[in-house]
Amino acid sequence: MQLHLQVPEQFTDKNQQQMEALAFEALVVRLYGLGELGSGEGAKLLGLTRREFLNLLNQYNVSLFDDEIDFKKEASYE
């Protein structure tokens, strides 16, 4: 799936590739927060280690311990 976004001019200090990476990062973190994917899956999508992904969640103020997270996904990730 491909998404197209209009970005306000105030963000023109970043190039298109930087904006796409930032948008994808935010999407993956949000999907984690919604319980749609586990931390291992999120890390893999972003090319991070699981520890790096967990640190990223902190930057977005997303709790590691949320009742909404699918713990079966977390437990089954290799």
Across residues 67-76, what is the average pLDDT?
56
In a domain, 14, yes or no: no
How would you class 16 by CB atoms within 10 Å of its CB: exposed for 0-12, middle for 13-18, buried for 19 or more? exposed
In a domain, 36, yes or no: yes
In a domain, 62, yes or no: yes
Q: Report pLDDT digits (tens) over 21-44.
A: 999 999 999 999 998 999 999 999
Neighbours of 69 (CB within 10 A): 20
> For the ranges 8-12, 13-17, 43-47, 59-63, which has the lowest average pLDDT?
8-12
> Domain tally for the chain?
1
- Look up the domain containing 37 and give its range: 29-78
In a domain, 76, yes or no: yes
In a domain, 47, yes or no: yes
